[in-house]
Chain A
Amino acid sequence: MSFLAWLFALGALGIAFPLLFHLIRPTPRGSQAFSSLMFLRQSPPRISRRSRLDNWLLLLVRCAVILLVAAAFMRPFFRTGGAIFTSDLPGKRVAVLVDTSASMQRGDLWQQAQQRLQETLDSLDPGDEVALFSFDRTTRAEVGFPQERTIDLASRVRLIRNQFATMQPGYGSTDTGAALVTCADIVTEIDDRSRTEVGLQIVLISDLQAGSQLGALQTYGWPEDVRVDVQAVHLDATTNATARVLPDEATQMLDDAGRRVRVANASDSHDEQFEVAWADDTGQIDEQTRTSFYVPPGGNQVLRVPTARELIAGKLVLTGDVADFDNEFFVVPQQARQIPIAYFGADDASDAQGALYFLKRVVPESRTRTVVVEKYPLQEAVDWKDDLVPQLVVVTGDVSAEVTARLRDYVAGGGIVLALVTEPTMLSSLQDLIGPVRLAESPEPADDYLMLSGIDFSHPLFAPLAGPRFNDFTKVRFWSHLPLSIEVDDNTSIVARFDNDEPAVWQHSIGEGVVLGLASSWRPDVSQLARSSKFVPLITNILGMGRIQLDAVDSCIVGQSIALPQTGQTWRVTRPDGSQQQVSGAETGPELLDRPGVYNFRSGITEYRVVVNLDAAESQTAPIPGENLEAFDVLVGTQPTREEIAGNMRKMKDAQLESRQRIWKWLLTAAIGLLILETLLAGRRYDTQMVNEAATA
């Protein structure tokens, strides 16, 4: 016989009570001297010796009642059927997710992570599957799940251990949310494919710093069958602070006045006193620039740190904290970028009534951008050098066929041509460039000015002006235009029309570039476009469509991908450690900018310097509780082991057997019968006692 609730066996200890009651009689408190007891009789049973048990039958019946009730509550049953063995049960699928972000470089966190991984691997059952993932800003599969379940667990563990030995924490920021989402997707996808219904487990080994990103979990519906076992590693006593030049000054040239620097201290820090100094690119610290900061834990302070005049590029070095991984902040002055524009037209740059006059003044120059408008003769073909390929070509007159062919090649290579078609003769000279455009056969006579209408605000030219505050083009009036008829096809589209429904702006795609045509001009005698507030943003939008990014990235964080200007040649990248790498794509991969420092990009004579720093959030090293993941519906906990599953299955089976047999009913019935017998016995004994009392009285 087995029992479902063994704990109720403690109820059998209740037999101590009848034993106690049979041994210990109630002793009345105090005594009262009375003149004579001749009128009194005894009310309770007479006090007798306490060391002797009497009424054995009554005692046995009472003990039997208690034992029967305790046995009934223990829910007894007879076990039948086969046993459940753990070897018949499926194992778990465990994805170990190791944090390799920069904050894991602190102290012995990496050794702790190795120990946690070892403990996790040791706790695996023979039927379990295991894989190793690492994450910082991105998630990488170091050792994936096996394709077949026949692979020995011991070899998998050995593989993971060897792989982990090759891993080191990098300089990336921490996106814990994205890593968890990626892992959850992988384990559930494999589970759906294999239909094994095993327990899905993610073991997260991380320092769970406050700066880790969890946003990816907000929009993710966490699968119900995936549990996350948070194995947090932490340092008992640490201090971490970071220094950063304020963003608005980071790109300015260094001067005597110094730069404003913010020092932020982590909320779990123990120290409050830090020093910040400038160092050159060789690592030599300028002691004259050393500045003390007093920052309490969790706070920050902004002070101006003096700089040396000769210090052109360098880094800010913070001292005074324990963790060194984020103590350097690299700064380089942003170099001015030249944007060439080619102009094919007959008017002079000083002619206030011409188009060139306004074009040279339309693009504002800034500290990082210099616009150079170069005028070219209409009939002379130009062969641009690599570094002088214009960002934009503006054509305002009849050009030769050779120039047209050259411009077509330029557009096909990704260039942009803006054609101001004001004369019918330009239609023939630019035939190969502006697409299927011809004069309208029956133009409507224009008695008054025209305005733009039917504007396609989804086009990059007008998209920045789509807002209700900017989309009013009624002030842009055109007094003359060229009535055109355009055949719209896959490469040609009308972007805007005049209010008489004739095409005003159209686009013709050739290769990787586009040609924008305007059936008028911005000359003051033709339209008010040049003198309207829309002129500057429209030209800026056209420049933004070019191959050179106007706001090219000079500063980014570790692991970030940046877009590279297309020069038609590969870029040669010199990393901070001096190693070089060739990049041919339009974007750098996340693995290129993998550590803080200054990266040098060179392609031909074009050279960029990109400074890479740690993500500011990575310096927020105060740990957060693992339970915070539950706020995003992540199921924190561990999957049951095979022994636990087998135990649960046994319990379910036992419960079914017990509910079917219901032996407790019979036990309770017997207990009730014994209670009736006890009542009869006790009643008879009481009557006998009363008779004896009366006789003795």
Chain B
Amino acid sequence: MKIKSLELRARVVVDGFMVGIHRSPWHGFSVEFTDYRQYSPGDDVRYLDWKLFARQDRYYIKRFEDETNLRCYLVADLSRSMEFGTTGYTKAEYARTCLATLGYFLSLQCDAVGLLTFDETIGEYLPPRYRPGHLRRLMLGLERATSGQRTDLAPPLEQITRLATRRGLVVLVSDMLAPVAGLARQLGYLRSQGHEVIVMRVLDPAEVSFDFDDPKIFEDMESGRRLFVDPDAIRRSYLQNFRQHAQELDEICRQQGVDLLTLQTGKPLDEGLLEFVRLRSRYRVRGQRRMAGEASRPAQQGGSR
């Protein structure tokens, strides 16, 4: 976080990640085969799978990962609560860096990356593009985003649902310190449109352990409500409430098929990136299985005919 430029910061993280990923089993996945689609006139005949044509007498175009034009929506929560931090930087800075890293990383893979920042309202919005200069604008959009007042997850998720008509990857970075009551419905909308959703929960270590010592007035950064709290007396109930909220969030994400990735600002960013890659590979395997199911289904249908 000592590097001021967000882009440079993201590059350092990704380069470090790339160097460390040489022995990774997912090396070169982007040029590997993913699925098939039927040939349509105008398609490049170089990608026709002649072997499959020989077996099935139909033209299929081989789709490779690098050919996949992934639309990724980076949704950043920049509410006032994200300005909390005890490790020398705030959760918002950590989240920006994380999103910039993901954007840089995805742009390296030629994926279209969009941005949406929100607090209680929608802030910046950049539609997912893959073109020269877009990454630059994305970085500027992240740097320009100012913190709002309170967290309201419903509007940004509804906005994404309305704007992202094409299937894509939605990465929601937030501390999720808000009631989880309506979250299941919003996530359900996204999932129903075929989006893959990864929720990256950014937390400060103090929020996880609540290791304050002296009794103080605790002031809510979003609402401004003041409360006298004796940490020693209240720590047990806090941790209990915190865990219960985390369990509810985890349950909702599990029910909706949303991956929940919890990041603590005290840990290095590349760990989060590695976890992201692991989740992405899981999606790819899951997609391959789905493709395999779809491919077998026409054959079965064709066979029956």
**Chain A contact residues, CB within 8 Å of chain B:** 28-44, 46-47
Contact = CB atoms under 8 A, between A and B. Distances in A.
Contacts of A47: 228
B230 A31 contact: no
- Chain A binding surface SS class: loop
Contact of B212 (A28, A32, A38, A41): A32
Contacts of B177: 35-36, 38
A37 B225 contact: yes
B84 interface: yes
Contacts of A32: 212, 216-219
B216 A29 contact: yes
Contacts of A35: 81-82, 84, 91, 175, 177, 204, 207, 221-222
A31 B217 contact: yes
B218 A39 contact: no
A33 B215 contact: no
B237 A42 contact: no
A39 B236 CA distance: 11
Interface stretch (B18-26, B28-36, B129-137, B238-246): B238-246
A34 B219 contact: yes
Interface string B188-220: 000000000000000010010000101111111
B239 to A, nearest CB: 8
A31 B91 contact: no
Interface string B116-138: 00000000000000000000000
21 contacts: A31-B217, A31-B218, A32-B212, A32-B218, A33-B219, A33-B221, A34-B84, A35-B204, A35-B207, A36-B178, A36-B220, A36-B222, A37-B220, A37-B225, A38-B177, A39-B241, A39-B242, A40-B229, A41-B234, A43-B234, A46-B228
B227 A37 contact: yes
B89 to A, nearest CB: 14
Contact of B221 (A30, A34, A42): A34
Q: Count chain A CB atoms within 10 A of each CB in B84, B177, B212, B227 and give the residue with the most.
A: B227
A31 B91 CA distance: 20
Interface of B: 81-82, 84, 91, 175, 177-179, 204, 207, 212, 214-223, 225-230, 233-234, 237-238, 241-242, 245
Contacts of B241: 38-39
B210 to A, nearest CB: 8
Nearest to B244: A39
- Give chain B's interface secondary structure class: mixed
A42 B228 contact: yes
Contacts of B242: 39
Nearest to A42: B227
A40 B217 contact: no
A46 B204 CA distance: 27
A30 B229 CA distance: 12
A43 B91 contact: no
Given A31-B218, A37-B223, A41-B227, 5 more contacts: A28-B216, A35-B221, A37-B220, A42-B229, A43-B229
A40 B241 CA distance: 8
Contacts of A31: 216-219, 226
A32 B212 CA distance: 10
B84 to A, nearest CB: 4
Contacts of B91: 35
Nearest to B226: A31
A31 B214 CA distance: 10
Contacts of A34: 84, 218-221
A43 B233 CA distance: 7
B245 A39 contact: yes
A40 to B, nearest CB: 6
A35 B91 CA distance: 10
B83 to A, nearest CB: 8
Nearest to B238: A39
Given A33-B84, A35-B84, A28 B228 contact: yes
B218 A40 contact: yes
A46 B228 CA distance: 7
Contacts of B204: 35
- Of B178, B216, B218, B223, most buried by chain A (CB within 10 Å of CB) is B218
Which are the 6 A-B pairs with shortest beta-carbon distances? A35-B84, A31-B217, A39-B241, A43-B230, A35-B81, A36-B177
Contact of A30 (B81, B207, B216, B230): B216
Nearest to B203: A35
Most buried by B among A32, A33, A36: A36
B218 A37 contact: yes
Contacts of B226: 31
Contacts of A38: 177-179, 241, 245
A379 to B, nearest CB: 133
A28 B217 CA distance: 7
A543 to B, nearest CB: 107
Contacts of B234: 40-41, 43
B234 to A, nearest CB: 5
A189 B149 CA distance: 103
Contacts of B212: 32
Contacts of B84: 33-35
A85 to B, nearest CB: 65
Given A29-B214, A35-B84, A44 B221 contact: no
A267 to B, nearest CB: 67
A39 B242 CA distance: 6
A36 B81 contact: yes
A30 B226 CA distance: 12
A455 to B, nearest CB: 105
A586 to B, nearest CB: 102
A244 B219 CA distance: 97
A29 B214 CA distance: 9
A41 B237 contact: yes
Contacts of A30: 214, 216-217
A38 B238 CA distance: 9
A44 B230 contact: yes
Contacts of A43: 215, 228-230, 233-234
B123 to A, nearest CB: 19
A30 B218 CA distance: 9
Contacts of A33: 84, 218-219, 221
Nearest to A43: B230
B227 A28 contact: no
Nearest to A44: B228
B215 A28 contact: yes
B104 to A, nearest CB: 27
Contacts of A39: 237-238, 241-242, 245
Contacts of A29: 214, 216
